[in-house]
Structure 1
């Protein structure tokens, strides 16, 4: 029997809606529209997004697993707080992953890969000069994901995927102060990758993560 029209997957629209709600919920947390410690009820989020509670409930489960919210008994979802322990844990993992990725990228990068990394640097420089810090934060995450992609290690790419949502979150909090220094540190890393110097790339990545950790911890409020 001849079939006409485009074949549709069962539940495709539902999945697409859930993913849209998830992406927007994550974005609002990262950008600070929903503040750390703020309570997020399913009803409120459904109203905010103009959807039913089902895709909201599913999105909340995902962001809970990612560490963006905590689900508390009788309170519902509360946006997580980037406390000192959480920041230190994040950067401890970043140091291991990014130094490994940088060394591999220096061994494996093609000329096209280097062009791609330098284009991201140029875009970040432009955004920094224009004080478009939302864009700077996006480009910061894009740059680090690109280095991991250039490393050619699919396990690094898979492991780091969820982490970079949190990297974006932490960076966005202090982007105005951190952006110029981060850009300069990225230049050093790209030059080491372009020179096919794994030792220098590893060192550049480690120094960058240590500087970023110091800046992030300095942003934490004191008691």
Structure 2
């Protein structure tokens, strides 16, 4: 009877050696710089329309201009930065008209995603969404907008992933880099922030009940309402 234990122990030891022998994968420096700059743009630390001061950012982030410029190229491809020939870079502006169009498309995409997720998500998937919502509620209670915004983004991405539709997921991902700034702006309204947390709970309840129609309707209303709040703020 001791034989299986011995085999398991040897296998575990071999696995441990293999794990230890694997090289440590380090993220390229420009990826880390990209993430930091993306957060700074999303959270308004780098305001729309402002020129990017490369020297100041290099000093702030402790990097050279090479990874910074690589990061700016990535952010330009995402629509967050405009590269100006021979004049550096500028944080891309936000217009109420563009955001209106973005949220029209996004509300439709996420409505479809919620409808499909209600039918296709497993019980384990729904449990993970519930755990994520619990973290979101903790961030809201602590008035931690930074972590709330990250987990809010993760929740929406997770529901889209649970749709099981690769095309929908691809199109959604292309839009999200342009929408994240707007979603963060909506959090600056305490009333909208409070509403959003409650709306998430309703959406998850509909998903758990496998009510595709209601999950889709609630998601559409939730996303469209965020768009309305941001457009009103920009117009004001």
**RMSD, aligned CA:** 2.2
Residue 198 of structure 2: aligned partner: 184
Compute the displacement of 1:41 (Å): 3.9
Whether the aligned pair in 2 keeps the contact of 1:136 and 1:179 (CA below 8 Å) is no
Q: Which residue of 2 aligns with 1:76?
A: 88
Structure 1 gap segments, 5+ residues each: none
Distance in 2 between the 1:176 and 1:127 partners?
A: 14
Corresponding residue for residue 166 of structure 2 = 154
- CA positional deviation for 1:17: 1.0
In the other structure, the counterpart of 1:89 is 101
2:123 maps to 111
User: Is the deviation greater in 200-209 or in 164-173?
Assistant: 164-173
Cα deviation 1:202-221 (Å, max 9, x = unaligned): 11111112211111112114
User: For 2:65 and 2:130, how far apart are their aligned partners in 1?
Assistant: 43
Displacement of 1:6 after TM fit?
Answer: 6.5
Per-residue CA deviations over 1:92-120 (Å, capped at 9, x if unaligned) read 22122101111110110111111111222
The TM-score, its normalising length taken from structure 1, stands at: 0.87
One of 43, 47, 56 as aligned partner of 2:59: 47
DSSP 3-state at the match of 1:219 = helix
Task: Using structure 2 for the length normalisation, give the TM-score.
Answer: 0.82
Partner of residue 207 from structure 1, selected from 206, 218, 221: 221
Matched length:
215
Question: Is residue 64 from structure 1 mapped to residue 83 from structure 2 by the alignment?
Answer: no
| Structure whose alpha-carbon radius of gyration is higher | 2
1:135 aligns with 2:139: no
